Amino acid sequence: MAYVVPADSLEELGGRWPEQGWLLVHDTGTQVADTQRALREAGQYLPVVPYSQGASIAHVMDALSAGAAGYLEWPSAHDALQRSLETIMARKWQGSATSLAQARAKQRIDLLSPREKEVLTSVCEGYSSKEVARTLGISPRTVELHRANVLTKLGVRNVAAAVKLSVEARFESAAAEMAQSETSEIAA
């Protein structure tokens, strides 16, 4: 069963994101970017589908590169709109579980202090505590304390799980960087 919950702004939602669904966002000003940022900060993943009247191809490509699930021309004939929405939904639901895991992983990684992130990055690259200590100019014991804090804050039991979470979180940003790079190449 599908239903619509209209909201004029993010503030009107009050941080109460639906557990599932997708968001149609009128593409004016920074509305789409603000919605995507709010979702990331909340550790949520809902497909965002901007809509507007007469958007340029470059503008639509920018929205898609920034992570939009699709783009709708508005107003649109009922049949055309329904076909577009069905296509977007079918394509986006395939990757939604992965995207949700990535968003949640990033949210957990963001809990770490800058030093803890440095330690985690070094551990992910395969460095020992002594090597990390030497590189960061701190004692090996301090590195061990940071590693313990990383495991606690991430809610994982071992370094392997922390590395896995780090990979999940970075995949999202790497994919965004790759999409941005491809868009830049097309524009050139």
Three-state DSSP string of the chain:
CCCCCCCCCHHHHCCCCCCCCCEEEECCCCHHHHHHHHHHHCCCCCCEEEEECCCCHHHHHHHHHCCCCCCEECCCCHHHHHHHHHHHHHHHHHHHHHHHHHHHHHHHHCCCCHHHHHHHHHHHCCCCHHHHHHHHCCCHHHHHHHHHHHHHHHCCCCHHHHHHHHHHHHHHHHHHHHHHHHHHHHHC
In this prediction, residue 180 carries a pLDDT of 47
Domain boundary among 40, 64, 95: 95
Q: Give the CATH number, domain containing residue 165.
A: 1.10.10.10
Q: Give the CATH number, domain containing residue 29.
A: 3.40.50.2300
In this prediction, residue 170 carries a pLDDT of 75
Provide the domain count of the chain: 2
For residues 22 and 87, membership in a common domain is answered with yes
Cβ burial of 123 (10 Å; 0-12, 13-18, 19+) is buried
104 belongs to a structural domain: no
Nearest residue to 69 (alpha-carbon basis) of 32, 14, 103, 42: 32
Q: pLDDT of the chain along its 188 residues, tens only?
A: 556 677 777 888 777 777 777 788 999 888 888 888 888 888 777 888 899 998 888 888 888 888 888 888 888 888 888 888 888 777 665 555 566 677 778 888 988 999 999 999 999 999 999 999 999 999 999 999 999 999 999 999 999 999 988 988 875 444 444 444 444 444 44
In this prediction, residue 183 carries a pLDDT of 43
Domain that includes residue 166, residue range: 114-171
In this prediction, residue 146 carries a pLDDT of 96
Alpha carbon distance 63, 66 (integer Å) = 5
